[in-house]
Structure 1
Amino acid sequence: MSEKNKAILEQGNAAISKGNNEGFLSCCTDDTEWTFVGDKTLTGKEAVRQYLAATYIEPPKFMVANLIAEGDFVTALGDIILKDEDGTAVHYSYCDVWRFRGDKIIELRAFVIKT
């Protein structure tokens, strides 16, 4: 199951990298919950959809250093570059802990730091 979950996350990230937010959302449960530690929590696929549309003005650039999977969890450690509203590239380091239910993402706990 662990390797399958890694493959699902990689598939979702590949979709996001191409600007295909719906492709990523197809990897999520309808009741998915994303917590950005110290910031906000998104509840449900529609809230995540709105977040992706507002945050990923252009497709992000992911540099995944490690994907570590065990049981229903996949942890991703890496860096991401996002463009802000002014078109300026902003660099972040992150550690995402994804939890799966079946073949879908049900939860994210994201630790993100602007670097």
Structure 2
Amino acid sequence: MHGSNKSVLLQANEAVIAGDNEGFLSHCTDDIRWTTVGEGTLEGKEAVRQWMKSAYAKPPRFTVDRLVAEDDTVVALGTIIGEGDDGQPTELAYSDVWRFRDRKMVELQAFVIPNGQR
């Protein structure tokens, strides 16, 4: 899997877990388009950087249950445990659809919903 889009995504995820936002961003193109369905779209690496400063101030814990890749797309399915508005841990289910260009992440469509577990 060395050099594959899957391995790039796994490396980027490891950076997020480690709280290394710049390490994550090194795997993104400057013109990344990050859409969280139902919430909005971030345009460009700087917008993602600023969002990560607050949203990932405390790095999320997450698991990837499945990765599916075809052509320039990798789909990741899993769970995220983060801090809810009330300060309590909250579990979310997610499906991230990543598009790659030249082994860098160029576009994300993220589908994130409460998992109903605490």
C-alpha RMSD over aligned residues: 1.5
Task: Give the 4+ runs in structure 1 shifted more than 4 A.
Answer: none
Q: 1:48 Cα shift?
A: 0.5
TM-score between both structures, scaled by the size of structure 2: 0.91
**Which 10-residue stretch deviates more, 54-63 or 79-88?**
79-88
Q: Tell me, what secondary structure is at the counterpart of 1:22?
A: helix
Name the structure 2 match of 1:106.
Answer: 106
Could you report, residue by residue, the CA deviation over 1:23-77 in whole angstroms, capped at 9, with x for unpaired residues? 0000000000011111100000011011111111211111111000111000000
Name the structure 1 match of 2:49.
Answer: 49
Q: Following the alignment from structure 1 to structure 2, what is the Cα–Cα distance between the partners of residues 5 and 79? A: 20
Q: Following the alignment from structure 1 to structure 2, what is the Cα–Cα distance between the partners of residues 7 and 80? A: 20
Corresponding position: 1:89 with 2:75: no
Contact 1:57 1:83 (8 Å CA) reproduced: no
Q: Following the alignment from structure 1 to structure 2, what is the Cα–Cα distance between the partners of residues 88 and 105? A: 31
**Which 10-residue stretch deviates more, 40-49 or 76-85?**
76-85
Q: 1:12 Cα shift?
A: 0.3
Name the structure 2 match of 1:79.
Answer: 79
Matched-pair identity in %:
54
Contiguous gaps of at least 5 residues in structure 2: none
Letter in 2 for 1:10: L
Letter in 2 for 1:15: A
TM-score between both structures, scaled by the size of structure 1: 0.93
